[in-house]
Amino acid sequence: MSVKVIVGAQWGDEGKGKIVDLLSEDVDVVARYQGGANAGHTVVVGDKTYVLHLIPSGILHPNVVCVIGNGVVLDPQAFLDEVAFLESLNIKVRGRLFISHNAHLIMPYHKLIDSLKEQGASKIGTTGRGIGPAYIDKFARVGVKIVDLLHRDVLVKKIRSNIEDKNLLLSKIYNSSEINVDEIVEKYLQFDKQLDEFITDTSLYLSGAIRSGKKILAEGAQGAMLDVDFGTYPYVTSSNPTSGGACTGLGIPPTAVKSVAGVAKAYTTRVGNGPFPTELLDETGDMLRKIGGEYGATTGRPRRCGWLDLFSLKYSVMVNGIEEVALTKLDVLDDFDEIKVCVGYKYKDKQLKSFPLDLCTIEDIEPVYDTLPGWKARISSSTSYEALPSNCRSYVEYIERYLEAPVKIVSVGATRAQTIFR
């Protein structure tokens, strides 16, 4: 029995797709436990680049079964488009990809409300994919679950009731046109026919896999610092990307989780609004963005870039119980004469002892930096840790000492081959 949870340890976009793809070679099941089509997991195999949004990153390995858990909010059209994309590349999907019957559906009104809210002054910086409004309905106990597609009367009743409320909101608050109930009902009944072969009781399936000793990877979306409970609220996602979300998002017991690995970039990025203590609004930030190709896989938005924030990363290690780290995009730092790392925060001239969760404090903190020498050499062709320049190894080992967690994987490029296992 072995469940390993893979979490993004920063604000997302850490390169989880590559790491999950690599680790999937030796597992039986990869299960996605939260988020929606706002995620973008990029996997490079040879000369082909695959961008996945809902389907777990293990799908590129033909012997791996992939699961989309109940904690995910599913956009049916986005899912079907992704299936078609993979099948067009001759990747077998059917028969080894399953969706929880208990997952909630993203409805057209969720996307509409999401985009309208983002036009206001207090926008969060979401992808506009309807994720937040879908989770709102889930926790307001008015959400539409996949299992509801089996019962037309229940589906019609739920959608009709929801749209009455949403139309009032759209017309009175957002001055937007109302939504047609019958069109949505018919559209989603058609989705039911197309989704049917993928739907199963995934909690039951995973329970059986655990009992039979199969190796399972639980894959999160976004990053721990975007967690709705432990992130920089309110500039967060609407679910729990932290390791604890794996249990509730898949219906597996905590006792089944045997290890947690965190994926972190060798620097820090963030998409959307919200505090970012080490953000660089200068040529150095532009350089990180250009060299690292820091543009969102889902939206194409330029990512905000800054030095590695070890203070927030150590908080993430604590909250998630991270026992080992996969460090990605180390090669992006090849050209820097010196590299800074944030080792603490000051607030009103006082050193903080822990990561602040109140917005007023974190928006007014001053990062405390340590400066390390760069290595000024190309590392993308390195195949062993010993082959890395001395200053590069020192950088990795500095991170390990600060986090008190070993860096077990070092990524020096986008492809599978550009990976060093320690």
Catalytic option among 21, 26, 28, 41:
41
> Is 370 labeled as catalytic in the residue annotation?
no
> Is 114 labeled as catalytic in the residue annotation?
no
Name the phi and psi angles at 230, rounded to 5. -115, 5
Name the phi and psi angles at 366, rounded to 5. -115, 120
Catalytic residues: 13, 41
